[in-house]
Amino acid sequence: MTTDPGHPAVRMYIAGQWCQGGARDTAPVVDPATEEVIGEVPLATRADLDRALEAATQGFETWRTTPVAERTAVLHRAADLIEERAPEIGRVMTREQGKPLGESTGEARRTAETLRWHADDARRAYGRIIPSAPGTVLTVRREPIGPVAAFVPWNFPVGGPNRKISSALSAGCSLVIKASEETPATAMELVRCYADAGLPPGVLNLVFGEPAEVSEHLISSPAVRLVAFTGSVPVGKLLAARAGEVMKPSLMELGGHAPVIVCADADPVRAARGAARAKWANAGQVCTSPSRFLVHESVVAEFTAEFVKAAEAVVVGDGLEEGTTMGPLANQRRLKAMERLTADAVARGATILTGGERPARPGYFFPPTVLTDVPADAELMSEEPFGPLAPLVPFRDLDEALTTANALPYGLAAYGFTDSAATAERLSAELQAGILSINHCGGSVHEAPSGGVKDSGYGREGGPEALDAYLITKRVSHLLAP
C-alpha cells in the first residue's frame, strides 16, 4: 500500500505505549479531497483490546486516587499543548476529514477550551450533608464510575473524542476509546497531547479496529463500567441494547434531522444568512446541522433568494487551499447518499435551485444544494442528510410548522427565527429537541449541556451536566458510636 510519507504514521496507545499492536490487518486512510491513500491504520486484535482493558483497570486505580488538583493540573497542561499544536493538528485533520483548514484549526482550539472547562468543573463535583437524626451523619458523595468504553465518529476528529476524554478524565475515570479508522492520525495527535502532559500510563488508551468486533468485546468486558457513544441512531440502538444486556449505563449522543422554523415576523434575510452559515459548516456533516427549513409563506421568497445567494457564494475545494470555504464530504458513502437523496427528491417533484450534481473532479465533492417543492414523502424529509442538502418548505401557520417539525422520531437540535418574545417562548416550549437556538443556529458550547430526546439519545455532554454520566452518587449513612 502506497502512503504519504508526510502524514503521521498511525499507532494505537495502550498502557502508556505507542504501538502497532498485534494487528493482523490494516485499513487505508484516504484524503477525501484527492481520493488518494495517505496512510494506514492498524486494526486491534482481541489481545490488544484485552491489554487496553487491563491497562484501563490499573490506570483507574491510579487516577481515581490522584488528588483533584493534580488531575486538573495535568489536564490543563494537555489543553495548553492542544492549543499550541492546533495548526499542526488542524492540518492532519483536513487531510483526513476534508474540512477547511480554518475550521480544523478552530476545532482544535475550541477543544482546548472544552478540556479546561471540564477540568475545572471537576473541582465542583460536590456532595452534600443531609440533616438527619441525632447521632447519624447522612452524606451524599460523587465518585468516578470506573473504566469507560467510548466510541466516536469521523465528523469532528478532535472535538468528538475530546468530549468523551475530557469528561471521563476530569471525573477521575480511565478510558478505552475507539476513534474512527477514517481519521486516526488526528485522534492520535489529540491523545499525544494528553500523554505528553504527563497523564499516567493506562488512564487513556486509544484503539482502532473492526467496529462491531471492538464494541462487542469492550462492552462485554466486566472491566467496563460505562459505554459512551456518538454516532448514528441505528448503531446507537445496537450498542445501548448490548450495554443493557450486561446492565451497564450508557451515554448516547445520536443523530437528528434539525428543523428550522422561520416565522412571519422574522427578518428573512438575516435568518437566511444565519441558517446558511450553519448549514454549510463541515459540509453539513454535523449532528446538529439545520436540515429541514420550514419558512412562513409570507417571507419564503425573500428567504429563498438570500439562502440561494449564500449557497452560491460558497467556495468548494480542497480544505488546504486558500479561499476554500467548504471541503469535500468525508467519504464516498456520504457522496452516494447525497446523490441518492437528491435523485429521490427530484423524482417525487422537487426542484433544484442550485447545486445538485457532483463536479467532474477527483475527490468526494458535492456542492451546496437547495431544493424547493420537496414533498413530505421524499426521503430527504425523513432521513438525516448529513451533508449539504437543504430542503425549503413553506408553511401557513405555526401549528402546522410545529407539527411538521415534531413529526420525526428525532429530537437533537431545532432552530427558530422570530421577533416575538411570545412566539419564542412557544417554540421553546413546544419544539421537541434537547438543543434549541432562537434567532441563530449556533452549535454546541462547552459551558452548556447538549444532548437529544426521543431517538436522538440520552445523557448530556457539556456544562455541569457533562460529568454526571461519569460519576456515581453514593449515599452514606453513618451511625456514630454511642
Residues annotated as part of the active site = 253, 287
What is the SS3 assignment for 260?
Answer: strand
User: What are the cell numbers at 113?
Assistant: 477550551
The DSSP element (H or E) to which 184 belongs, if any, is helix 184-196
Q: Which of 231, 246, 291, 245 is nearest to 455 (CA)?
A: 231
What is the SS3 assignment for 320?
Answer: coil
CA distance 323 to 317: 9
> Positive or negative, the Cα torsion across 353, 357, 359, 360?
negative
CA distance 232 to 217: 20
CA distance 363 to 183: 16
Query: DSSP strand E in 195-302: where?
Result: 204-207, 226-230, 250-253, 258-262, 290-296
Question: Which DSSP string corresponds to 101-169?
Answer: HHHHHHHHHHHHHHHHHHHHHGGG---EEE--STTEEEEEEEEE---EEEE--SSSTTHHHHHHHHHHH
- For the chain, the first-to-last Cα distance in angstroms comes to 75
Q: Which of 82, 30, 311 is nearest to 193 (CA)?
A: 82
CA distance 405 to 47: 47
User: What are the cell numbers at 108?
Assistant: 482544535
User: What are the cell numbers at 408?
Assistant: 420525526
Is residue 244 within 8 Å of 274, Cβ to Cβ? no
Query: DSSP strand E in 277-385: where?
Result: 290-296, 351-354, 369-372
Q: Which of 190, 95, 94, 98 is nearest to 150 (CA)?
A: 190
The DSSP element (H or E) to which 365 belongs, if any, is none
The DSSP element (H or E) to which 94 belongs, if any, is helix 86-97
Give the phi and the psi of residue 270 in degrees, each rounded to 5. Answer: -65, -40
Is residue 101 within 8 Å of 91, Cβ to Cβ? yes
Q: Classify strands 351-354 and 148-151 as parallel, antiparallel or unpaired.
A: unpaired
CA distance 70 to 76: 10
